[in-house]
Chain A
Amino acid sequence: MSSTLSLGAVELLLQAMDLARQGVVVCDSTGKTLVRNARARELVEPNDVLAEAAVEAALARALGGSPHEETLDLYSPTRRALEIRAFPLRPAAGDLRPPAAQPAGAAVFIDDVSELRRLEAVRRDFVANLSHELKTPLGALSLLAETLEGEDDPEVAARLSARMGAEARRFSRIVDDLLDLSRIESGGTGPLEPVALAAVIDEVAEGFSETAAARGTKLEVDSPSRDLYVNANRRDLVSAVANLVDNAIKYSGPGAPVQLSAGQAGDRAFISVRDEGIGIPKRDQERIFERFYRVDRARSRWTGGTGLGLAIVRHVAAYHGGEVSVRSVEGEGSTFTLSLPLASKEPKEVDLG
């Protein structure tokens, strides 16, 4: 680069640097700061002593002739991680000045990698959880198969064979739920269209009539009026509500009621699933929508849960511009509510005044 940039060009260069998403600090050979772009000022505020010291130290090391790289973990005022990379700057080729022993200056590049780190931790946890969740039913099949091989008693053999079937189905359900979750996370299956809430409620209720009857659960359905619509992917919405009803039945005692209702609250539609089951401890209520989080792993084994159902519900809600919430009292029951923006089936008339 030529060292004869006009003042106008320098001004443009500084403006461009202020638009960069990376913090940049440049100093001369004495360590005097020449440039500190907007992002650098944002990431390292004047009272941020630790970050400022780290930038100064990185510049000093680069002025010593060596590039330097470090990640700085800060815990105050908010927890964050800054990646700091410093490089010595040499005189440009063609510069006629005699070569100096020391670099002509140094530059530091600063990135806020907090979110990247958080996502990396989420990904790592997910892979670890996923490996465990898939390995468990596979290990079960291996163990049960070997037990079955040496078994002479037909009654025991039949039981082992049934258990193998259950573990194979469990594996298959986990894979199905993972594929569903992946599809929904990547934007669902297509555009949203007006869907009558009553049709969703009826479809879910019909789908569970046999299961509820088999467990003696009284599935009480309160359908909304036929003219209540939400913009939705019908398949995903039905799947989310079905997950909530499935849980409500699983975690309720035989004969206990499960209420499925829907309606309008202000400019939102809601779908509510209420049970009088075991409830959810307060400490777990924040985490039940996380992938593979289970309140009671032992119970989950016997109910056949994959640990992904509520994560699917949360993603479906978000994908529809809505949210899911839970109110629960341990020993008394739980109410899950899906809240979604209302839609009119016909385009709204515009009042032109």
Chain B
Amino acid sequence: MAKIVRNFAPPVRALSSPYLRCVQTLAPLAKAVGLEVERCDELAEGESSSAVKLVRALAGSDVALCTHGDVIAEVLLALADEDRVDLGPNPRQAKGSVWALEGSAGSFSSAVYYPPGVEERV
């Protein structure tokens, strides 16, 4: 993940689900840019609607988030449905993959998928 996010501006916050495995996934990136991982209940497993609200509130800022598969799916589906973000012909979300979201003022305009282990934009 730390390698993938080199494609972007350094995050100013690192937010994670309170679950240990998520915090541990985000820790190397946070450390690399001198941040502490913030634990957010909104990103916990099963918290899809509060996660959507949180992500919308963060639109336009450079933030790294780490959460669970079911939460990521719901966030992406909300953006596809409500903001008409194109998730591509066959949207995926393998474990360890990254979705880069771009937006501003509460809504999103694009979402790009990075499979696990891929460091460049695909």
**Chain B residues, Cβ within 8 Å of A136:** 77, 80-81
Check if A139 is an interface residue, CB within 8 A of chain B: yes
Instruction: Name the interface residues of A96-139: CB closer than 8 Å to any CB of B.
Output: 132, 136, 139
Also in contact, A301 and B84, with CB within 8 A (given A143-B77, A143-B92, A147-B73):
no
Check if B76 is an interface residue, CB within 8 A of chain A: yes
Residue pair A143, B91 in contact (C-beta under 8 Å): yes
Return B105 CB to nearest CB of chain A, in Å. Answer: 16
How many angstroms between the C-alpha atoms of A298 and B90 in the bound complex?
22
Check if B94 is an interface residue, CB within 8 A of chain A: yes
**Chain A residues, Cβ within 8 Å of B69:** 146-147, 150-151
Check if A32 is an interface residue, CB within 8 A of chain B: no
Residue pair B82, A143 in contact (C-beta under 8 Å): no
Q: Which of A140, A146, A156 contacts B77 (CB 8 A)?
A: A140
Check if B46 is an interface residue, CB within 8 A of chain A: yes
Interface centre among B46, B69, B95 (most CB of A within 10 A): B69
**Chain A residues, Cβ within 8 Å of B74:** 163
Q: Which of B72, B76, B81, B94 contacts A301 (CB 8 A)?
A: B81
Closest A residue to B88 by beta carbon equals A139
Check if A215 is an interface residue, CB within 8 A of chain B: no
Residue pair A142, B70 in contact (C-beta under 8 Å): no
Check if A17 is an interface residue, CB within 8 A of chain B: no
Point out residues on A near B: beta carbons under 8 Å: 132, 136, 139-140, 142-144, 146-147, 150-151, 153, 156, 159-160, 163, 297-298, 301
Point out residues on B near A: beta carbons under 8 Å: 45-46, 52, 68-70, 72-74, 76-78, 80-82, 84, 87, 90-95
